[in-house]
Amino acid sequence: AMGSWAAAPWRLGGCGGLHRAWRRAGSSLAGGGERAARLSDLLRSSERDGAPGEEAAAAGTVLLFPGQGSHFVGMGRGLLRYPGVRDMYRLAEKVLGYDLLSLCLEGPRAELDRTQHCQPAVFVASLAAVEKLNHRQPDVLESCVAAAGYSVGEFAALVFAGAMDFAEALYAVKVRAEAMQKASEAVPSGMLSVIGRPEANYKFACLEARRHCELLGIENPVCEISNYLFPDSRVIAGHLQALKFLQENARKYYFTRTKMLPVSGAFHTRLMEPAVEPLAEVLKCTEIQKPLICVYSNVDSKKYMHSKHIQKLLVKQIVSPVLWEQTMHSVYERKQGTEFPYTYEVGPGKQLGAVLKKCNLKAWRQYSHVDVSEDEEIFQNLLT
């Protein structure tokens, strides 16, 4: 019966609880901050709150947390009316040392696009979207059985699941984002989104692109699959010369579409090695507990087991491909005839919903998105 109280730490501690914990801890983040809620409180709160809605409780709910690239200027504007959200952004300003909210609302776009700003922005906006969902449909959180996050989204998923404290996780995201930004500036590299025909051999194409780079005089060239999105779709990352070679030879490798992603480096490849140590160091000082609901790892598409496991895989994730397609199979695998859970994408963009549709159409039919802009609120006000 875990589902009935699994998401309660988020409701109970909310941001107010985290904010108080932050004040008690002074501003020392390493190992500081009390956990927002304890198990006995969670159980009591779930009894008090009553049973979740019948529909959501039937098959449970799943929350998906987006990653870098889903951001846009104006995100978060539609969330500020919900309790605790402004507190989250105030706390974020203390942790980060700059005004994240005004950067999200007003830009400039070029600054928000920078990895060091973009990752914390998506992390906070996603958890603010959870506050909105809690305010509008608390039964969705009460009946949540699983969560998964795409790349940096894993940190938000783990905070939601009660495994990490909001402020400490945000500090870890800050360190991760700055280290990844620095690593990406060291080598001209990038990421190429590819859709291929069934006969496409991505690994062979990467091998030939690396050989091409060697002929150009690049030592130890990198060109490898960095993200498995859905059947016939991959992201390939590495040296820019390798990606250019793949675009120019797309037909030869049965690629039907290639598109460079608007990111600064080859994330989730060994070009991110310099970012490993800084993140490992900060996670050593971060209190991590076993998640209260199932959270799936990008590294192996399996459930996180315990705190040391989380610590190890979050570090490994920086230099490992994101197995998102495999994770979707793990999350939605069920016996024939079993109902699919209701899925909510919490945070900017609807990319994870689009990917889910390609991975599992039946699961996607129960999907909805928790918007972080103000458009839907304006629209609803016009109707009322």
Of the candidates 108, 140, 134, 135, the residue with the CA atom closest to the CA atom of residue 121: 108
Amino acid at 326: Q
Locus of tokens 């000082």: 285
Of the candidates 108, 140, 259, the residue with the CA atom closest to the CA atom of residue 192: 259
CA distance 247 to 157: 34
Residues taking part in catalysis: 151, 268
Are 156 and 126 in contact by the 8 Å Cβ rule? The answer is yes
Q: Which residues pair with 147 in a beta bridge?
A: 63, 295
- Burial pattern 281-294, b for ≥16 Cβ within 10 A else e, equals ebbeebebbebbbb
Amino acid at 125: A
Considering Cα of 290, then 293, then 299, then 305, what sign does the dihedral take?
A: positive
Q: What angle do CA 24, 283, 40 make, to 5 degrees?
A: 55
CA distance 236 to 192: 5
Amino acid at 316: K
- Which tokens sit at 227? 């993200």
- Which tokens sit at 191? 């990421």
